[in-house]
Amino acid sequence: MKKLLLCLFIFSLLSSCYSPEKKCKEFHTGSFKFESYLNGELVTSTFTRNDTLEVDTFQGSVDTSSVRWINDCEYIIKNLHPKNIAERKPLHIKILTTKKDSYTFEYGLVGDPKKKKGTVTKIEN
């Protein structure tokens, strides 16, 4: 019985320390799709990103943002042509997990503790 409890304890200890490998660099560049709900309706945004720029298309409108990578899995985007005060504030994005063709991330305004989560799918290299 003691051996069984010891084995269970060691197994739970080892499995709690497991952290899946993130391959964030694979998502630094390319074309991507982001789906979210806006006023109860599923909407899609597409964007293309290189190391320093991100061009986003949403409902026929195109925006360009600068991209500054903090590390392999975190970056700041700042709208280059803001149309209002809200668009002037930069966003901090942190990639949490990666899969073959998608990543899950959290985002929020720089300095704001409130964060939201989303998933992006890579559609082209």
pLDDT tens sequence across 41-81: 889 999 999 989 999 999 899 999 999 999 999 999 999 99
pLDDT of residue 17: 55
For residue 120, pLDDT over 70 is answered with yes
- Choice between 32 and 87, residue whose per-residue pLDDT is larger: 32
For residue 114, pLDDT over 80 is answered with yes
Name the band, by pLDDT with cuts 50, 70 and 90, for residue 37.
Answer: confident
For residue 31, pLDDT over 80 is answered with yes
CATH of domain 25-124: 2.40.128.490
Q: Quickly tell me which residue has 């709900």 as its tokens.
A: 37
Domain boundaries, the chain: 25-124
Name the band, by pLDDT with cuts 50, 70 and 90, for residue 7.
Answer: very low
